Copies of this chain bind each other. A is one copy, B any other.
Amino acid sequence: MSTGEKPILTMQETVRRYAPDGQELLIGGFAFSDPTALAHELIRQGRKGLFIMKTSGGVLVDQLVGAGCVERVLSCHVWNSVGPVPAYCFRRALEQGKPHPIQIEELSYGAFTMALLAGACDLPFMPTTPVQGAGHFTQRTFLPDKFGVIENPFGGGPVCVVPPLKPALGVFHVQRADKYGNAQMFGPTGEMRPAMAACKKLIVVAEELVDTAAIRERPEATVAPGFMVDAVVVEPWAAHPTDSYGYYYRDLHHHALYGEMSRTEEGFQRYVDEWIIATGNHAGFIAKLGKERVAELQLRKAGW
C-alpha cells in the first residue's frame, strides 16, 4: 500500500518473490479472468503447500491440485464448466487422495462475496443469506468459524453472518493497468472489487500496460486504485482458456482438451509436461496454441 510507480514484474519473478511454499493466496477471476498464467508458473516453480482461496475454482485450481501444489482450498466450487466435465484432479484428490490429500473448505458464492466485503471494509462480519441446514453451514474443516448465527437486534429471528476474509496475498487478472498500479476491469466484475480490497498484498496481472491518460478516460472502470496495488504483471492472454471481457473469448476447445487429458493421472501429467513445463512461460504456452487459434479467439485489436 503505497503511491508512486509500482514494480512491473514478470510472472516468474512475481511467483519467486511473492509466493513461496505454503503461501496463502486468493486468486481472482470467476471462470472468466482466471489468471491461468499464474497457476502455470506456480506449477513450473514446483510450489508446495499452498492455501488457495478462489471463489470459482475452475481448470486453474484443478491444475494446481493435480500438480501437487495445494494443501488447502477454500472455494465455492471447482469444476470444468465447459461440457461440463468433472474437475478430475480435484475429484481424485478428494476421492482418492491423489497425488496427495487436500483439505477443502466451502462457502457459497454469496457468503464468499460477503466475507470478502467484510474483509475489504475491515468490518467484523457481514450478514448473509440464510444457509442454516445447508451442508457448508454444518460441515466445517479448517475454518470452524466460517459462519455464525446471531439474533437480529431489530427483531425478526436468526441471521447468518460471515467473518471477514483478509487473504495475505491476492493475484487478479485485469484488462489493463498503468505503471502506478491503477487497474481496470470491464464487463462483469463478480466479487472482484471487494475481493481485491480484502487482500493484504495485491498483484494485478494485466492484459496490457496503458498510459495513465487512458485510465483517466474511464475512471469508473478502475477496480483497484494504484495505492492498493503492490506490483503489476503484464501478461497478454494471461486468462486463457477462460475469457477476458473485450479481449478474447473463452477457449472451448482447450477446455475440452484439458478435460479429456486430465481424465487420467497420466493424461494430466502429459498436459503438464506439454502445455506447462515444455512451454517455459506463458508466451510459450500461447505460441503453442498457435496463431490461428489466437486469431479465432481474439476480440480486441486496438485499445478501448
Q: What is A's interface to B at a CB cutoff of 8 Å?
A: 118, 123-128, 145, 148-154, 156, 159, 161, 163, 186-187, 189, 219-221
Copies of the protein in its oligomer:
2
**C-alpha gap A145/B155 in the complex (Å):** 10
The CA of A80 and the CA of B283, in the complex, are separated in Å by 57
| Chain B residues whose C-beta falls within 8 Å of the C-beta of A161 in the assembled complex | 153
On chain B, the residues within 8 Å of A127 by CB distance are 118, 123-126
The chain B residue with its CB closest to the CB of A129 is B123
Contact residues in B for A189 (Cβ distance below 8 Å): 220
CA distance A126 to B162 in the complex (A): 12
Q: Which residues of B contact A154 (CB under 8 A)?
A: 124-125, 145, 148, 163
Q: Which residues of B contact A219 (CB under 8 A)?
A: 187
Residue of B nearest to A128 (CB): B123
Docked pose: A153 CA to B161 CA in angstroms: 9
Task: Name the one of B128, B145, B150, B220 contacting A150, with C-beta atoms under 8 angstroms.
Answer: B150
Inter-chain CA distance A161–B220, complex, in Å, is 29
With A148-B154, A150-B150, A154-B148 known to touch, is A124 a contact of B159 (CB < 8 Å)? yes
Query: A124 contacts B221, CB within 8 Å?
Result: no
Q: Is the CB of B145 within 8 A of A149?
A: no
Complex alpha-carbon distance, A186 and B126, angstroms: 28
* Closest beta carbon of chain B to A96's beta carbon, Å: 35
A303: shortest Cβ distance to chain B, in Å?
15
| Chain B residue nearest in CB terms to A146 | B154
Which single member of B118, B148, B156, B186 contacts A153 (CB below 8 Å)?
B148
